[in-house]
């Protein structure tokens, strides 16, 4: 349209677009601290010009869209790194708890082993002394008790992890159902060709939270929809529907994670669930297994040694410890001293009361490779090393991944973060533009009045 009314509508477009730009900035400022918010930018363009012969007249300004500024590649990276960091962090917490069993070199199973063998040496100068014999049994009892306690602590830790699994799965389900419903909303908006910025931000934030729990791959299907699967292919969200995971007690009493009828517990590779499962199903059984081996090896070797000797009553010696279970599993939890009467300790090698010959046989077990090709102390110190090393490595990994995450967050912030300074300067700009457009309107109004009054003096002001 041409003429003054054309100018008026152009000025009006300026006013309305400035208003909308102001709204956008104001929205950014309001959401400056909203987690996962991507700043919005009002994209304006000059209106399509109208052509009158050789003249091309502009039609003002048009707000094309309000775009959320985000980098999809960064989001993918952030999700992946979050999954790894979360898994490792969970593992680190558990490992730090686990290693407290092995913190002291002067107490604990290692020191107990040393003390036990030393008590045998101390008996040698006076083998009929009942008090010294009792010391041997007491030392044996302390060793067995510490094995029991260590095994029991590890069991408790594993059981507590079962509670974590159930909780985490429940949270996963809550998140996937929220993501699915937002997905539906986004799809319907995209269909209507509307901008779904804040909804996408919300969904992205939920997916990030989900990444903290479980390994998740995001696939963009057409029309703004997404599909979520675990990295091994289990579907979590598809076609706007979420598929809940369930937990069930499996063999051995541990919670298993099921997708429908399929057990996916061992297929998870990221998030705190994967970390929890790695500790519960691998690390803890590994350490427990080694303790079992040590307990079984010691018990068996000492029992054999005791049986080659004679007790104070001249009878052949029997078991010093209860026989460990066949195969060794559960030996640490079950270890007990089998005799309470100190005179039953088989110190004598020839049946005479004062002989100490068999004490040397018992004591020699300390230097025999009775546990998986190692002496008892070597085996134990190796176990301590492994636990400490795993913990230390995991800690270093967590630090590395945390740094990576920080860098990615920084990058994301530089793309999507709201800068109050920027918004302030934008607001000044928009305000000025609004003022200018308003001034144009009032000028045109005056001109219109002049036009109406053409030739007549001040009939309209």
Partner 1 sequence: MRVNPNPMPDLLASLNQTELAAQQAALQISSGRSVNEPSDNPTAAALLIQNNDEATFNAGYLQNLSAINGQLSTADSTLSSVGSALQQALSLGIEGANGTLSDSDRAAIVNQLQGIQSQIISLANTSYQGNYLFAGTASGTIPYAANSADPSGVTYQGNTGVNQVSVGAGYQIEINQPGSQLFSAAGTNNVFLALNNLITSLQQNSGIETAVTSLNTASSYLSAQRVFYGNAMSQAETQTTYLNAAKLQIAQQQTALGGADMAAAATNLSQAQTDTQAALEAISKIGQDTLFDYLK
* Residues near partner 1, by CB under 8 A: 95-96, 99-100, 102-103, 105-106, 110-111, 113-115, 117-118, 121-122, 124-128, 348, 350, 352-357, 360, 363, 377-378, 380-382, 384-389, 391-392, 395, 402, 406, 409-415, 417-422, 424-425, 427-428
Q: Tell me whether residue 72 or residue 354 sits nearer to partner 1 (CB atom).
A: 354
Q: Tell me whether residue 269 or residue 355 sits nearer to partner 1 (CB atom).
A: 355
Within 13 A of 37's CA, how many CA atoms are on the CB side? Answer: 15
Q: Tell me whether residue 96 or residue 191 sits nearer to partner 1 (CB atom).
A: 96
Write down the least CB distance from residue 258 to partner 1, Å.
35
Write down the least CB distance from residue 454 to partner 1, Å.
42
Write down the least CB distance from residue 434 to partner 1, Å.
15
Write down the least CB distance from residue 322 to partner 1, Å.
25
Write down the least CB distance from residue 121 to partner 1, Å.
5
Write down the least CB distance from residue 151 to partner 1, Å.
18
Q: Tell me whether residue 80 or residue 119 sits nearer to partner 1 (CB atom).
A: 119
Write down the least CB distance from residue 230 to partner 1, Å.
28
Report long-range pairs for 194-199 (Cβ below 8 Å, ≥24 apart): 195/65, 195/66, 195/67, 195/68, 196/224, 197/38, 197/40, 197/66, 197/67, 197/68, 198/37, 198/68
Q: Tell me whether residue 212 or residue 224 sits nearer to partner 1 (CB atom).
A: 212
Q: Tell me whether residue 269 or residue 402 sits nearer to partner 1 (CB atom).
A: 402
Q: Tell me whether residue 5 or residue 385 sits nearer to partner 1 (CB atom).
A: 385
Q: Tell me whether residue 34 or residue 266 sits nearer to partner 1 (CB atom).
A: 34
Write down the least CB distance from residue 96 to partner 1, Å.
7
* Paired tokens of 51: 């052509």
Write down the least CB distance from residue 74 to partner 1, Å.
12
Q: Tell me whether residue 74 or residue 440 sits nearer to partner 1 (CB atom).
A: 74
List of residues 6+ apart from 217 with CB closer than 8 A: 228, 229, 230, 231
């Amino acid at each position: 349209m041409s003429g003054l009314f054309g100018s008026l509508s152009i000025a009006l477009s300026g006013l309305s677009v400035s208003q909308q730009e102001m709204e956008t900035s104001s929205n950014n400022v309001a959401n400056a601290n909203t987690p996962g918010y991507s700043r919005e930018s009002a994209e304006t363009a000059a209106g399509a010009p109208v052509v009158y012969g050789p003249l091309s007249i502009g039609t003002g300004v048009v707000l094309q869209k309000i775009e959320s500024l985000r980098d999809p590649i960064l989001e993918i990276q952030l999700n992946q790194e979050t999954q790894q960091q979360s898994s490792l962090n969970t593992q680190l917490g558990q490992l730090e708890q686990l290693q407290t069993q092995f913190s002291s070199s002067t107490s604990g199973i290692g020191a107990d082993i040393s003390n036990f063998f030393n008590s045998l040496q101390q008996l040698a100068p006076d083998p009929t002394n009942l008090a010294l014999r009792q010391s041997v049994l007491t030392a044996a009892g302390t060793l067995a008790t510490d094995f029991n306690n260590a095994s029991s602590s590890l069991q408790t830790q594993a059981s507590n992890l079962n509670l974590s699994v159930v909780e985490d799965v429940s949270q996963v389900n809550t998140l996937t159902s929220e993501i699915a419903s937002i997905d539906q909303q986004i799809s319907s908006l995209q269909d209507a060709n509307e901008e779904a910025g804040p909804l996408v931000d919300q969904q992205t934030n939920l997916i990030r939270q989900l990444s903290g729990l479980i390994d998740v791959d995001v696939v963009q299907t057409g029309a703004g929809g997404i599909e979520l699967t675990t990295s091994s292919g289990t579907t979590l969200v598809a076609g706007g529907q979420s598929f809940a995971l369930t937990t069930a007690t499996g063999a051995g009493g541990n919670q298993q994670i099921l997708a429908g009828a399929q057990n996916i517990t061992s297929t998870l590779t990221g998030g705190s669930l994967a970390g929890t499962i790695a500790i519960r199903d691998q690390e803890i059984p590994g350490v427990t297994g080694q303790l079992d081996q040590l307990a079984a090896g010691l018990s068996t070797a000492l029992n054999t040694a005791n049986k080659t000797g004679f007790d104070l009553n001249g009878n052949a010696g029997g078991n010093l410890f209860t026989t460990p279970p066949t195969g060794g599993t559960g030996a640490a939890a079950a270890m007990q001293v089998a005799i309470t009467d100190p005179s039953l300790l088989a110190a004598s090698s020839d049946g005479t009361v004062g002989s100490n010959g068999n004490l040397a046989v018992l004591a020699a077990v300390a230097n025999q490779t009775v546990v998986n090709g190692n002496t008892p102390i070597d085996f134990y110190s190796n176990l301590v090393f492994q636990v400490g090393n795993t913990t230390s490595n995991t800690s270093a990994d967590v630090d590395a991944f945390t740094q990576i995450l920080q860098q990615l967050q920084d990058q994301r912030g530089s793309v999507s973060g709201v800068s109050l300074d920027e918004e302030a300067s934008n607001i000044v700009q928009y305000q000025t533009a609004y003022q200018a457009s308003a001034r144009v309107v009032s000028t045109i109004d005056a001109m219109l009045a002049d036009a109406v009054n053409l030739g007549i003096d001040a009939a309209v002001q």
